[in-house]
Structure 1
Amino acid sequence: MTNKTILLNKRPVGKPQLSDFKFISTEIEELIKGEVLLKTTYVSVDPYLRGRMSDAKSYVPPFELNKPITSGIVAEVVESKNKEFKKGDYVSGMLAWKEYQKSNGEGLLKIDASKAPLSTYLGVLGMTGLTAYLGLTEIGKPKRGETIVISGAAGAVGSIVGQIAKNLGCKVIGIAGTDDKVTMLKSSLRFDAAINYNTTKNMAEAIKEVAPNGVDIYFDNVGGPISDAVLFNINKFARIIICGAISIYNNTELPQSISVQPFLVKNSALMQGFIVSNYAEKFPEAIQQLSKWLAAGKITYAETVVQGFDKIPQTFLDLFDGKNSGKMLIKI
């Protein structure tokens, strides 16, 4: 039986292209004792993967050329010679972009399809939900009645952050790129207000209009001019959480931006970047809380699901054109 694999063909310059990826077919190897054979079910594509396609120093090693790309994956155990796993189990982990792959079981987490849909283990109950919950609570430290602004609010992390903040009693304002996303934020996701940055000429004024008492917390997923506009509205002791900067990931030159220091000094504000693994010891309690909210209907989740292994590269590229609402996934 042949097995498709997606390799990094060359390092992108600027926005990634389909030619940066390469499909190959290989034979599936025989299992040895201690191994399992996994069949990919869902593949997660996320903006941070763009950074790993470059060879610049970062918090995770870059992908190697002509080697498989890896990301969060849910897979089914279809054959097992490992006593910890049996045929029919579902697992999640950082796995290769392959239709089938062997594993010795390290790094695999058994997941329960009877408790929540499989896709949620890559989204609200996976790294996406953990990033939202821990970034907000550990750095943002929200208090009831405070105002939070979230950029990339209709994306995977942003859409969860807003709902958590509502559950904690905050006024929630989202920034997104289409009228449909703005409508979704205010209706199904319970945001108090939302702004379409593509149809707004003066973002700083638009934020001031919906946040007349200022901004206490800013959860930043995008960087760039949108984040500059938020700075003009921050309150004293504001907390600015830097989760991502998708607006500048594909830049080939250093972006022009305002100096943040005067805003931070004047307002005694905190700006802190993070990666979710900083808070690994808090994962269990975070998943427990997210699961409770999910079961109680206090968190809903949006997904954009594309069908077919061959669609993985294009679906990744579509992230940078904002074609996703919520978590972007490929179902195999």
Structure 2
Amino acid sequence: MRLRAAVLPTGLLKQIWKERTAYLFMAPFLLCFSAFILLPVIMAILLSFTSFDAFRFPEFVGFQNYIALLTQDTVFMKYALPKTIKFALFVGPIGYLLSFFVAWLIYQLPKSIRDVITLAFYAPSMAGAIALTVVWQAAFSGDYVGYLNHFLLQAGLIESPVLWLQDPRYLLNVMILVTIWMGFGVGFLALLAGFDTVNKELYEAGKIDGISNRLQEVFYITVPSMKPQMLFSAVMAIVGTLKAGAISTQLTGMPITQQYAGHLILNHIDDYAFIRFELGYASMVSVVLLLISYVAMKLSYRLFGSRDGE
């Protein structure tokens, strides 16, 4: 056993040297992945067990940060976590299903106009903060000239302007609406491209087997045939949902919204990292968000991942 354990690293090095050309081509990606993904994650995990203010050397505190999150951080338990769950439940599944449905509708159009319609839906995701600032702040402006207020006043549905971005009752709903509108990104394009990968002969075989309408075609043929694209789109939807905390700051111009109305987990991290400079605690919240993302990813793989025999 000792001899085998001693020989194993040498054999591994020989195998790497044998495949050195492949590793050479992989090196740029591996270096970037290690420097910008792997190393920051490891540093965040290590800092999550410390008290660190960016000025003094980190002080090891064990699990005190995690205990404080569960027992003392009322803002996280009362606002950040529930609002993130609500935000994710609406933006994630609804945005994902809406992307699939819109992609399916666009795919039914003639090829000559399909690209134009696709660009119209994809363009908002490229505009980013510019669209948020120019379009949505004007649309939800709290004065008489705001697009939504002006329309509702003209229709007689309200008597005075509504402060859509300042009123805690409406802000989270506005954030959900804007995020869904901007959700037609790379995942949407992957779904649209996925329809081209479906074997058209399967639809003819399905009709012979008793499939009688388009809904059954989508459920029994289209979705099972494009699981890789469905999985990729689901992963992109999860990532986009969990990193969307900056949208409240972009809409309101405030790092912390009034009464924590739009306070998501990412805003909680920014609060402790860049306002309070409690970087150890912020790293711990980042690790918690990473674990939540991991659970969501595993669920996506269970739903859309390939199984044995497929």
Return the structure number with greater relative CO, CA threshold 8 A, min gap 6.
Answer: 2
**TM class, shorter-length:** under 0.3
| Higher alpha-carbon Rg | 2
- TM-score of the superposition, structure 2-length normalised? 0.24
